[in-house]
Amino acid sequence: MKKDIKKVIMSDIRYLNRLFKDYYRGIRKDLPLVNSFSKREFGFIPWDKQIRMIRHISFSSRENLMTNLFNNGPRHVYSSGALYQQPENQNMDGKGFKGCDLIIDIDADHFYTPCKEDHDLWYCKECGKSGQGTVTICPSCKKSKFKTLTWICEECLDIAKNEIIKLIHDFLIPDFGIDLNDIRIAFSGHRGYHLKIENERIRTLSSDERRELADYIAGENISLEILGFQAKGGTFYRFSEDTIGWAQKIMRKTVEILNKQDKEIKNLLSTNQKFNFSNNYIKSFINSKQDFLNTIKETKRFILPSIEGFGITNWNKFFTGIVHEIGVEIDTPVTIDIHRLIRYPGSLHGKTGFKVQEILPDEIDDFNPLDERIKRLDPIIFESKVQTTQKLEILEEQVPATKIKGEKFGPYSKGEIVEVPHHIAIFLLCKEVAKTI
């Protein structure tokens, strides 16, 4: 995985660039139009790596945008969440800010998923050690300069999708009264989803207000005391399930957990990501679960049962774990930044060759980006109608297995010559782990 070994092959770059141009030439009127189109700032990342980003561009019509796209076939295409009087003005202050959609980004890059232990790789730039999963400091030299290779699989994309569903049905609709019609969702073309709320009232929110909203959704800075958790004379008091918002969510989740099988409860409470209870405490918790359910059902006094070993510390740990279980894994800086550019729907993601695919809220349950049955929603646009394969040479030390359209390719290692279908070839080339031969 050393940098000098991995050379980006110019002819492959030109090849991908041409394919992207062909894609944009082919779709013309099918590219979705974001609302207030002409008030958005556009940005492009070209294939030429010397150029970071071309931004401060605007288009008066879809036709103008399409001409640009099929002439240039950029690697990545973005537009602003914000509306501006002069989106093309080079100076942020001169653009004339007119409000910004609320954008929530959920990306498997930003949170732990068990499958990363199988398909993400790291390589220490200091000492050369490498391994699977993710690390923050090198276990060998204790430095933290890494090169990483992150991959995708149905499992992490499913986890990200479920976070979007939680976001809509546990927060946006019940707590903020957002209309389903104002919500737009898109698969990012790589490891996650973004959700946009297009609503006049929401557009005026300041960055600080967006931060508060993001913290609320993520379950950050939630005060258990303010919600009603307290210790008085040796008795612990819980939250009222009648108080909508976090108190109700915590009680509902608690009941849901108490109704699980003992084995499931044990698994959950021992996870170090959220609860991390020792076996003794888990045992006494499970022994008291019926008692716990009875106190919730039978009394309106909000008393918590006495569970052996459960003092203020363990109760706090339990409810904090519940809060993390409920909170949505959002990438907060994206929500706060009112000048952020986000991927344009219908454009191609240059690291995968997949389409940024818009989906309606009622389509998301069944949506499966790596094996989508509904043609209109399929982000894998380079799957050829006729069975064609391409020969590639693997450039990266190790390439994790890729499962797309129900078929598994790899894992591969450096120097291997592989023959794969067109869409897998494009994916591996975009990922820069292979070259055509």
Q: Pick one of 65, 115, 247, 296: the residue that binds Zn ion (CB under 5 A).
A: 115
Q: Is 370 in the site for Zn ion (CB under 5 A)?
A: no
CB of 405 to Zn ion, least distance (A): 16
Which residues make Cβ contacts (< 8 Å) with residue 273, sequence separation at least 6?
A: 112, 324
**Minimum CB distance to Zn ion smaller for 122 or for 319:** 122
Say if CB 117 and CB 107 are below 8 A apart: no
- Determine the 3-state secondary structure of 81 from DSSP: coil
- Determine the 3-state secondary structure of 398 from DSSP: strand
Q: Is 121 in the site for Zn ion (CB under 5 A)?
A: no
CB of 345 to Zn ion, least distance (A): 24
Using the contact rule CB under 5 A, the part of the chain among 95-103, 108-116, 182-190, 231-239 near Zn ion is 108-116
Distance, CA of 353 to CA of 363 (rounded, Å): 22
CB of 394 to Zn ion, least distance (A): 20
Residue tagged 């049955």 (tokens): 373
**Minimum CB distance to Zn ion smaller for 115 or for 429:** 115
Q: Is 359 in the site for Zn ion (CB under 5 A)?
A: no
Residue tagged 């716990």 (tokens): 292
Q: What is the dihedral of CA 17, 20, 25, 29, to 10 degrees?
A: -150
Distance, CA of 260 to CA of 267 (rounded, Å): 11
Say if CB 370 and CB 187 are below 8 A apart: no
Q: Pick one of 138, 217, 370, 428: the residue that binds Zn ion (CB under 5 A).
A: 138
Query: Is there a cis peptide before residue 411, judged by omega within 30 degrees of 0?
Result: yes
**Minimum CB distance to Zn ion smaller for 139 or for 309:** 139
Distance, CA of 330 to CA of 106 (rounded, Å): 5
CB of 145 to Zn ion, least distance (A): 8
Using the contact rule CB under 5 A, the part of the chain among 147-155, 257-265, 323-331, 396-404 near Zn ion is 147-155
Say if CB 305 and CB 318 are below 8 A apart: no
Q: What is the dihedral of CA 308, 309, 312, 317, to 10 degrees?
A: -110
Scored b (16 or more CB within 10 A) or e, 241-274 reads beeeebbbbbbebbeebbeeeeeebbebbeeeeb
Q: Is 124 in the site for Zn ion (CB under 5 A)?
A: yes
Q: Is 160 in the site for Zn ion (CB under 5 A)?
A: no
Q: Is 214 in the site for Zn ion (CB under 5 A)?
A: no
Q: Is 155 in the site for Zn ion (CB under 5 A)?
A: yes
Distance, CA of 104 to CA of 214 (rounded, Å): 8
Q: Six-digit token pair at 285?
A: 């918790």
Q: Pick one of 9, 31, 45, 127: the residue that binds Zn ion (CB under 5 A).
A: 127
Q: Six-digit token pair at 3?
A: 């940098």
Distance, CA of 284 to CA of 309 (rounded, Å): 8
Using the contact rule CB under 5 A, the part of the chain among 128-136, 202-210, 366-374, 411-419 near Zn ion is 128-136
Say if CB 404 and CB 427 are below 8 A apart: yes
Q: Is 126 in the site for Zn ion (CB under 5 A)?
A: yes
**Minimum CB distance to Zn ion smaller for 157 or for 392:** 157
**Minimum CB distance to Zn ion smaller for 12 or for 372:** 372
Beta-carbon neighbour count of residue 49 at 10 Å?
10
For Zn ion, how many residues bind (rule: CB under 5 A)?
11
Report the site for Zn ion in 291-330 (rule: CB under 5 A).
none
Using the contact rule CB under 5 A, the part of the chain among 134-142, 237-245, 250-258, 374-382 near Zn ion is 134-142
CB of 31 to Zn ion, least distance (A): 29
**Minimum CB distance to Zn ion smaller for 111 or for 277:** 111
**Minimum CB distance to Zn ion smaller for 15 or for 112:** 112
Using the contact rule CB under 5 A, the part of the chain among 48-56, 136-144, 296-304, 404-412 near Zn ion is 136-144
**Minimum CB distance to Zn ion smaller for 124 or for 214:** 124
Using the contact rule CB under 5 A, the part of the chain among 14-22, 154-162, 209-217, 409-417 near Zn ion is 154-162
Residue tagged 């389903």 (tokens): 180
Q: Is 156 in the site for Zn ion (CB under 5 A)?
A: yes
Interface residue list for Zn ion (CB under 5 A): 115, 124, 126-127, 129, 138, 140-141, 153, 155-156
